[in-house]
Structure 1
Amino acid sequence: MDERETIERVARWLKASRITVVLTGAGISTESGIPDFRGPQGVWTRDPEAEKRATIQHFMASRDARVASWKYRRASTVDAALPNAGHFALAELERKGKLQALITQNIDSLHIKAGNSLARIVEIHGTVRDFVCMGCGERGPIDRVIARVEAGEEDPPCRTCGGILKSATIAFGQNLVAEDLERAQSAASSCEVFLAIGTSLTVTPVALLPRYALQAGAKFVILNAQPTPYDRAAAAVIRGPIGEVLPAIVDLV
């Protein structure tokens, strides 16, 4: 079956589905200029030290790691990134009443910028929009901390308790927010169509979500440039560019 036939078949499944759940990973944001992590030109492929800095134990124990992290965050272009056609297609799918839950591993807020409602989004790995204190749990807009970094504070402490601040993202070794994980598992367990878009499906516990969908009898669709461990279990696998394939599917729904 060629790609066009597969696109039409997936669109029919979406049109008939009463509950559709989408899981997105870094691959949907690469067309917005945000590099993925494990691809051939991924952030961690090119800089293994960046992956080390992304572990919570290293971040908490090493002031140098925190200084480097805040320096990287200050220079990051993620805030200026704009949604691409793939993001807008998912917003359109929601407007058509065919997207009940959007679980994203991405921290870039591009789904929100594209028009998906926050109430339907589960930001399973957190967000760069906010900071959080690892001591007292205080949370707020990360711009407040970035301003302090720009003013010369290399590792700004919490102004409430003096604790360590970090972006409100989930680092390696850090537990997911239990409520977010429960929402994601519940959505996957009750859906009729489950789309995994731009994700390697290798990072647990998110990588276990397709199992919940498959156990529920859902049609499982993968849109990803690289092979995943779930390809053989999927009802359809599409390798084409997400920014082209996804709009083509949604246009037919």
Structure 2
Amino acid sequence: VDGLHLRAGNSLARTMQIHGNTDYMRPLAGDRTPIPIPAAVPRLGREDPISDEVWALLVDAKGGPTRPHVLWFDECYDEALYRSDSAVAAATSCDLLVVVGTSGAAALPFHMAAAAWKKGAAIIDINGADNPFADHARDRAKDGRGLWLQGSASRWVPALCERLLAR
């Protein structure tokens, strides 16, 4: 939800933000199309108060209230907002699934990994802690098509990219 994939240069077309993006908001009613949060809205810390001036910027084109463009825990995945069906389809048709830094606590990512595993895709999991994705990767490692790289993304992603691009 942090928009890092887009800031790193990925396009919206190639990025499935299945839990939303905190750089966007959307109207509470009517059209649910995400709206970029205005540049004039400062990044605030968790405990920082929101001024009346900032609240005035956090409205839709008709002046109506908005909410962050994120999937709350009590909400359902939705193709139109989160490209959830597209994400599952991509996982179902991939040859290699690379999972980086997620716990596996949310249903859709876990379902995606299970779909890729069932299809026979190779699985690489990069994570500091053991998790369900690591289980899939270790299972694939039995036939040389899986790997759990324990550690940080900053440690393993550059090395993995270099290795994959060299092939």
Q: Same fold (TM over 0.5)?
A: yes
User: Which amino acid in the other structure matches residue 141 of structure 1?
Assistant: P
Structure 1 position 143 matched with structure 2 position 38? yes
What does residue range 84-163 of structure 1 map to in structure 2 within 5 Å?
107-137=1-31, 139-143=34-38, 146=41, 149=51, 151=53, 153=55, 158=60, 160=62, 162=64
Structure 1 position 168 matched with structure 2 position 69? yes
What is the TM-score when the length of structure 1 is the normalising length? 0.51
Greater helix content? 1
Q: Is the 8 A contact 1:222 1:231 kept in 2?
A: yes
Structure 1 position 242 matched with structure 2 position 157? no
Classify 1:120/1:159 alpha carbon distance in 2 versus 1 (closer, same or farther; 3 Å). Answer: closer
Higher mean C-alpha displacement, 166-175 vs 214-223 = 166-175
| Equivalent residue, structure 2, for 1:251 | 162
Instruction: Give the RMSD, CA atoms, in angstroms.
Output: 2.6
Equivalent position SS for 1:116:
coil
| Equivalent residue, structure 2, for 1:210 | 113
Distance in 2 between residues matched to 1:215 and 1:167, nearest whole Å: 34
Classify 1:247/1:156 alpha carbon distance in 2 versus 1 (closer, same or farther; 3 Å). Answer: closer
Deviation of 1:156 (Å): 5.8
Distance in 2 between residues matched to 1:194 and 1:172, nearest whole Å: 25
| Equivalent residue, structure 2, for 1:183 | 86
Q: Deviations over 1:76-119 (max 9, x none)?
A: xxxxxxxxxxxxxxxxxxxxxxxxxxxxxxx1111111112221
Report the count of equivalent residues: 146
Distance in 1 between residues matched to 2:101 and 2:78, nearest whole Å: 22
Deviation of 1:140 (Å): 2.0
Classify 1:168/1:149 alpha carbon distance in 2 versus 1 (closer, same or farther; 3 Å). Answer: farther
Identity, % of aligned pairs?
23
Deviation of 1:159 (Å): 5.9
What is the TM-score when the length of structure 2 is the normalising length? 0.75
Distance in 2 between residues matched to 1:202 and 1:177, nearest whole Å: 18
Distance in 1 between residues matched to 2:160 and 2:54, nearest whole Å: 49
**Higher RCO, Cα 8 Å, sep 6+:** 1
Distance in 2 between residues matched to 1:198 and 1:146, nearest whole Å: 29
Classify 1:236/1:131 alpha carbon distance in 2 versus 1 (closer, same or farther; 3 Å). Answer: same
Structure 1 position 226 matched with structure 2 position 129? yes
Higher mean C-alpha displacement, 192-201 vs 152-161 = 152-161
Deviation of 1:199 (Å): 0.6
Higher mean C-alpha displacement, 149-158 vs 119-128 = 149-158
- In structure 1, runs of 5+ residues without a counterpart are 1-106
Distance in 2 between residues matched to 1:156 and 1:241, nearest whole Å: 35
Classify 1:140/1:233 alpha carbon distance in 2 versus 1 (closer, same or farther; 3 Å). Answer: closer
Deviation of 1:150 (Å): 5.0
Q: Is the 8 A contact 1:135 1:161 kept in 2?
A: no
